[in-house]
Structure 1
């Protein structure tokens, strides 16, 4: 440890005892507030609509939101007392900023809930709003700030960049030698965790919720009707649904019903300084500082500062015995032993950036448990496991305070309306399936995610920890040998692109075009002129059969079902409000047998929706997830038919094997279910087969295709090709935030089909009211090295924000930078010029007639024959 840090720590006053009382930072005067509901002094309720397990800020926030929304019989059970766990020792930071897109809405909603609960209860939540400044000390970080700004303009929260002079004016204690730029969020700040939690609890009880402390859950069992018995030491409650919001106890609560949730507990440490004269002399509170290269935050705490580092992976400490053995039964409102040596380099960085800290004493150091998931995002929503119903999660919430109100509103809407209020699939609790996500992966990935807390968020970022999992196709090593650069999708390894001799391999991060750009163009040319093979094994694949299979799917999908055996249709599942919940291909294998295919990232997200509606409607069906059993190879390009013809005597002609049809083939002795479709828009097939046959199928394809120039291509090339063809992508052009009419999916929606389907009434109303925005294709004027749009960029017109992009890439065939975007109808006419914000520059962009391929070359068809 550096001498300077030793000197500063010489007078450290460690916490004198591990008292089971509330720890406060700002609202010390409130530390003797009585809990809103004390230990059990009366019989537990016998019945509840919702039982929330966990009395931290997330659980109480949900109880408040649910009760306020009018749900009757909301019950919250807390093992010890409110705020015990991670809430009570939190540093209290709250910010509008989030590097993602959907989570920005959560933060925005949370700030509004803070104001509402304070106003309604009269309980001061201890909020301070001096704003936050993120510091950029490298040119790459400045680029990241510009990248974040281009994604912020169409969102609600204010955010702007600061010059070094403006940074210093707002925070004069900073050493400006390294500061190149600041990113400012006014209105940010910090809140008292105890006061906020108590306000939530007061508000929840005010609206009729019941809160029981000293009521630990000892057992759980689901009844045959999908409701639950929740056992405590004081009795059993029968409830329609359970929400696990138990913080670092959530994993143990999951184990009560046989679930292994992807959660681990890590240590977060911060220090509190004594009075600093330069801070004491100020009339206004200093803004919160996040020194991203130093990887710490610093906020004012009375006349001193709180400094909280995020250590890199090899330094951060995880409770390893908790990973395997669980949280010790007696652990509650306690701290871990602090280790200032572990964070010494971060304290040194803080002293360099804020020189006044050098002469301050550390009066308190805090080291407490917080919960982490493999990707640092929470688990929010209904959880799926065989036979499991009505089990919800609000767990793994690393930033509990700023997420509490927003997630409370989000889950309340979903619980009460049967659909999420907006797209938040990145927090779907089923994104980590137990089939591949074991405890070792969770621990390894969480260590990486925590250590990367303040790294630059690059486009197309790939993180290596815990890879590969068990989800690799039979050609994984063969593709690596051919210098495939792999992407990670729901546990699967899938080639993004292929390096050849002369290419720079590996992931080279950049906000502009980088080492993959020209290789991807080479792969696009391969598919357009010859033929390429792509590993599509990560697709989610389901078989649905039984007497009611057709009835179920006709109810779920807005398109007509394929009537003939061996026919395929692109179909969409909608929410009751008309949002696009999923896009799938539906193939009829028999009178009562169907084959459904979806993207890798939405496998269990879609399966849960199908199974839930089958169960609720009482349909007699058998739904089988065959994702891990089946491999998929795609072949596309004008010579693809000739390649396959060498391996089978089957008629592959345009008439013999029609577009969107499915036939059983034997290719070089490998049995495949072949569907004539390709997301590239070129002539192509998807070849479904037993996963153990993938290597053999790949070998025979490559051997047969040698004379035709057959090669490999990856997902980056496929993404570029699909944009040129006008193909929409689920999760980009269509989500629950978009209806299929504005997304240009009208040809797939049979709004007048005789049977009702979910969302039909909403679409009929939208037709009457008219659309408020439309999806358009843009060509964007960019520099030679980009950057190209990738999605979520702000669209400007005449100095006003008018929309946002959904996806983008360079179109190698049309030789234009492309983007899809939602804009008002009056700006959707071809030839209209708008601007796309890219790294601080508003680039001219022209609305095009789509698909571009048709108008550039005049020979486009949905699948070239």
Structure 2
């Protein structure tokens, strides 16, 4: 056993072995992998081994694509056959809406370059006569994937890792982690079998590792306790059955026909593949329970749970309906094992919150599919400082420190159940909600608010009928213009024509102060710092020079700054900021960071009547003059009193109209809300949700973090040159400049279908050539057509360039327009009183 290593990977399943393999492949010479039992003894051993491309996440699609390509090369490299059966994957649709889902997914697949084909029910029947296609609307077929033997692919990657110098140690359990300031001291116990259990012996050792990666699968909760962090990855039961041979299938194969692809009936919530003349049926049923919420018992090793056939009866009957020959076939075997899930179904892949050189690779519900790509991109993060794709959507810090075990259980069970439920782009899943609510939540709900959740906060998406059924939002969902469209349109028109009030309390809010704060922030962000009482928009960059965080900075004093960033990313932003502060404290001086996200609420009031509304409430001798450009100019902040509420008003509006953000003590929110409603409604003010705001910000070409802004594009590529002061030194500057301009962010007006708008996942074409992808989409009330933003090749970014955008398998005209096509000279937002 080595006592000092560069990197220690904890966990010997498919994910752990892939990470060790890729770290060595990336050039790290001293890597060790630990497994508490035997390689593949966790969920890997009972996984069905399917390799589905289908995923609505752009980053996850890249990961799956890398895995599938990698697995086809392992035998040549290692001499071990990974057991990859490239039979393809046929995903069937039983409804028009399911086909709409597949067409939206295909947009993501097409941007990554994943091959697929569209099949009619007749074509499915011609290829696979055993399949009942009478009630199908169509199917999407991936010819390049299929299924693999999980143990074989894991052993192949383990051999590849050993060939590159990785040490693999079995029967060692981690009992503790201690950070020394430069390395991790990892305490280990030797494991041995005792009475059928795997228990620690008295043999102990300590390994020092510069970096640690945890890929502990079902043991993630034990890992979380040892590290003192929260990891919302908890196993959920997944059962599948193996049938006896099907004579009709045997006859089909005996006639010289090839193996069926993996069959997926999403509407029936199952997958099926051939297995030795029979079938494997794997359902994703309702009410599958989470297990091991506090840890895996010593008595559970490569064990299974009892099968619960009653729970999957509906799925089993639909299997017989789809493949009628299976009705007379008996059951041969069954598996019911734990598979880790996360609240959104995507893995936790990246740096651990609050810790140095600790990396998480947990919560892989499709671990075999993702293992190869996860190892590749995590190795890039660790070795090069950043991956070539934006990994923010998989970052462990996307779930805040407020989460609890009960919350994670509820959301993880929901994520399992939703594997085959329609993935609407406007869906809002209901489990564990409402939880985090602003004081005005009940007032908003009483006025028809239909809420979304961001970082656990309830936030209005739009306002429907006041007497709407509680499930109105569920009925309103669509892959096209949902039932919410007309409400959002009216809200956007109100902002452009009168005024709108938006609950923006979910914004992440931090206060940075102290003697070193100004010098640190000047180095940490791209723009020049504002003067006291003024604000600016700025960016913090990754080591690779790409966008890590967007901040609105309000300078409250020479050495005190109020930082506002995206609502879903409070812990993500705080972790990055805190670690950078610690690294630079000796250089810049002492400073303190406070997370005040839940201390202050925020309302955004915007529209041409917004000044009039505030003037009726402002406690000032000359309220109208106090709100004019002379005393309260654009991009400034002032402490004011509205009614009995002291607050900080910031003259800025994400909608591009005259407006203010009103940051107020959270405990006074309802008083302020009532005053604003009383003053605003007579002047045409409407309550406005996130969907209308998203449309409006696109009319102004305002980039959004998580769509246009991310760790795969620099601020210069994003077209944010005016927020980058290249006359000063700042973190990531040299890397940003060295990257150059690989693509450019543009705004497009789209002549799309009458019943749909782009969602921000679509491919952009010039002729037959793929030249970019959209990152945001919606409807423009100013132009009466679809609008969107995205990235294209630099030569395609000129104003007036004619492109095509793929929506629902058809190509529609799109034109690159000037930035801020609505009010390009900012006359509305700068309007004087």
TM-score range normalised by the length of the shorter chain: over 0.9
Question: 1:648 aligns to what?
Answer: 619
Question: 1:35 aligns to what?
Answer: none
Which of 811, 816, 828 is the matching residue for 1:842? 811
Question: 2:609 aligns to what?
Answer: 639
Q: 1:810: how far off?
A: 0.8
Q: 1:473: how far off?
A: 0.7
In the alignment, the residues of structure 2 paired with residue 45 and residue 859 of structure 1 have an alpha-carbon distance, to the nearest angstrom, of 63
Question: 1:549 aligns to what?
Answer: 517
Question: 2:772 aligns to what?
Answer: 803
Tell me if 1:351 matches 2:320. Answer: yes
Q: Is the 8 A contact 2:608 2:828 kept in 1?
A: no
Tell me if 1:599 matches 2:556. Answer: no
In the alignment, the residues of structure 2 paired with residue 266 and residue 487 of structure 1 have an alpha-carbon distance, to the nearest angstrom, of 25
Give the TM-score normalised by the residue count of structure 1: 0.90
Q: Give per-residue Cα distances to partners, 1:374-422, cap 9 Å, x unaligned.
A: 111111111214xx33322100101110110111011111111222331
Q: 1:783: how far off?
A: 3.4
Q: 1:97: how far off?
A: 2.6
Taking the TM superposition and a 5 Å limit, the aligned residue runs for 1:309-320 are 309-312=283-286, 314=287, 316-319=288-291
Q: 1:864 to 1:835 in 2, by over 3 A?
A: farther
Q: 1:152 to 1:197 in 2, by over 3 A?
A: closer
Which of 471, 493, 506 is the matching residue for 1:525? 493
Question: 2:84 aligns to what?
Answer: 127
Which of 281, 297, 308 is the matching residue for 2:282? 308
Q: 1:172: how far off?
A: 2.5
Q: Give per-residue Cα distances to partners, 1:198-253, cap 9 Å, x unaligned.
A: 11211212212221111011222222446343333431112223222100111112
Which of 749, 754, 759 is the matching residue for 2:724? 749
Tell me if 1:287 matches 2:261. Answer: yes
3-state DSSP class of the match of 1:216? strand
Q: Is the 8 A contact 1:228 1:241 kept in 2?
A: no
3-state DSSP class of the match of 1:157? coil
Tell me if 1:481 matches 2:438. Answer: no
Question: 2:237 aligns to what?
Answer: 267
Q: Is the 8 A contact 1:781 1:845 kept in 2?
A: yes
Tell me if 1:106 matches 2:77. Answer: no
Q: 1:863 to 1:422 in 2, by over 3 A?
A: farther
In the alignment, the residues of structure 2 paired with residue 547 and residue 224 of structure 1 have an alpha-carbon distance, to the nearest angstrom, of 25
3-state DSSP class of the match of 1:253? helix
Which of 754, 767, 776 is the matching residue for 2:746? 776
Which of 600, 610, 617 is the matching residue for 2:584? 617
Q: 1:224 to 1:153 in 2, by over 3 A?
A: closer
Tell me if 1:540 matches 2:508. Answer: yes
Which of 91, 116, 122 is the matching residue for 1:165? 122
Q: Is the 8 A contact 1:145 1:161 kept in 2?
A: no
Taking the TM superposition and a 5 Å limit, the aligned residue runs for 1:15-414 are 44-225=1-182, 227-233=184-190, 234-281=204-251, 282=253, 283=256, 284-312=258-286, 314=287, 316-319=288-291, 322-323=292-293, 325-385=294-354, 388-414=355-381
Q: Is the 8 A contact 1:486 1:496 kept in 2?
A: yes
Q: 1:102: how far off?
A: 1.7
In the alignment, the residues of structure 1 paired with residue 517 and residue 127 of structure 2 have an alpha-carbon distance, to the nearest angstrom, of 63
In the alignment, the residues of structure 1 paired with residue 237 and residue 466 of structure 2 have an alpha-carbon distance, to the nearest angstrom, of 45
Q: Which moved more, 1:839-848 or 1:609-618?
A: 609-618
Question: 1:491 aligns to what?
Answer: 456
Q: Is the 8 A contact 1:535 1:632 kept in 2?
A: yes
Q: 1:58 to 1:491 in 2, by over 3 A?
A: same
Question: 1:427 aligns to what?
Answer: 394
In the alignment, the residues of structure 2 paired with residue 612 and residue 248 of structure 1 have an alpha-carbon distance, to the nearest angstrom, of 29
Question: 2:556 aligns to what?
Answer: 589
Q: Give per-residue Cα distances to partners, 1:647-704, cap 9 Å, x unaligned.
A: 2216221111121112211221212122111101111111112221211221222233
Q: Which runs of 5+ in 2 are unaligned?
A: 191-203
Q: 1:862: how far off?
A: 5.1
Tell me if 1:449 matches 2:415. Answer: yes
Q: 1:94: how far off?
A: 0.9
Q: Which moved more, 1:585-594 or 1:846-855?
A: 846-855
In the alignment, the residues of structure 2 paired with residue 382 and residue 205 of structure 1 have an alpha-carbon distance, to the nearest angstrom, of 25
Q: Which runs of 5+ in 1 are unaligned?
A: 1-43
Q: Is the 8 A contact 2:177 2:184 kept in 1?
A: no
Q: Is the 8 A contact 1:498 1:519 kept in 2?
A: yes
Which of 524, 527, 533 is the matching residue for 1:559? 527
In the alignment, the residues of structure 1 paired with residue 781 and residue 827 of structure 2 have an alpha-carbon distance, to the nearest angstrom, of 16
Q: Give per-residue Cα distances to partners, 1:242-268, cap 9 Å, x unaligned.
A: 222100111112112333321222111
Q: 1:534 to 1:229 in 2, by over 3 A?
A: same
Tell me if 1:724 matches 2:724. Answer: no
Q: Give per-residue Cα distances to partners, 1:162-203, cap 9 Å, x unaligned.
A: 112222233222112122211011111111111111112112
Which of 543, 549, 552 is the matching residue for 1:576? 543
Q: Is the 8 A contact 1:102 1:423 kept in 2?
A: yes
Q: 1:863 to 1:103 in 2, by over 3 A?
A: farther
In the alignment, the residues of structure 1 paired with residue 632 and residue 8 of structure 2 have an alpha-carbon distance, to the nearest angstrom, of 54
In the alignment, the residues of structure 2 paired with residue 519 and residue 450 of structure 1 have an alpha-carbon distance, to the nearest angstrom, of 32
Q: Is the 8 A contact 1:147 1:840 kept in 2?
A: no
Which of 738, 763, 768 is the matching residue for 2:736? 763
Q: Give per-residue Cα distances to partners, 1:68-115, cap 9 Å, x unaligned.
A: 211132221111111111000111001333222221100111123223
3-state DSSP class of the match of 1:256? helix
CA RMSD of aligned residues (A): 1.9
Q: 1:772: how far off?
A: 4.0
Q: Which moved more, 1:796-805 or 1:191-200?
A: 796-805
Q: 1:782 to 1:652 in 2, by over 3 A?
A: same
In the alignment, the residues of structure 1 paired with residue 494 and residue 237 of structure 2 have an alpha-carbon distance, to the nearest angstrom, of 50
3-state DSSP class of the match of 1:525? helix
Question: 1:15 aligns to what?
Answer: none
Which of 654, 660, 672 is the matching residue for 1:685? 660
In the alignment, the residues of structure 1 paired with residue 682 and residue 632 of structure 2 have an alpha-carbon distance, to the nearest angstrom, of 23
Q: Which moved more, 1:62-71 or 1:161-170?
A: 161-170
Q: Is the 8 A contact 1:552 1:614 kept in 2?
A: yes
In the alignment, the residues of structure 2 paired with residue 243 and residue 230 of structure 1 have an alpha-carbon distance, to the nearest angstrom, of 15
Q: Which moved more, 1:624-633 or 1:702-711?
A: 702-711
3-state DSSP class of the match of 1:191? coil
In the alignment, the residues of structure 2 paired with residue 406 and residue 804 of structure 1 have an alpha-carbon distance, to the nearest angstrom, of 22
Q: 1:360: how far off?
A: 2.2
Q: 1:94 to 1:389 in 2, by over 3 A?
A: same
In the alignment, the residues of structure 2 paired with residue 826 and residue 125 of structure 1 have an alpha-carbon distance, to the nearest angstrom, of 43
Q: 1:117: how far off?
A: 3.3
Q: Is the 8 A contact 2:14 2:153 kept in 1?
A: yes
Q: Is the 8 A contact 1:814 1:852 kept in 2?
A: no
Q: 1:537: how far off?
A: 0.6
Q: 1:311: how far off?
A: 0.6
In the alignment, the residues of structure 1 paired with residue 505 and residue 604 of structure 2 have an alpha-carbon distance, to the nearest angstrom, of 9
Q: 1:637: how far off?
A: 1.3
3-state DSSP class of the match of 1:351? helix
Q: 1:502: how far off?
A: 9.0
In the alignment, the residues of structure 2 paired with residue 704 and residue 172 of structure 1 have an alpha-carbon distance, to the nearest angstrom, of 68
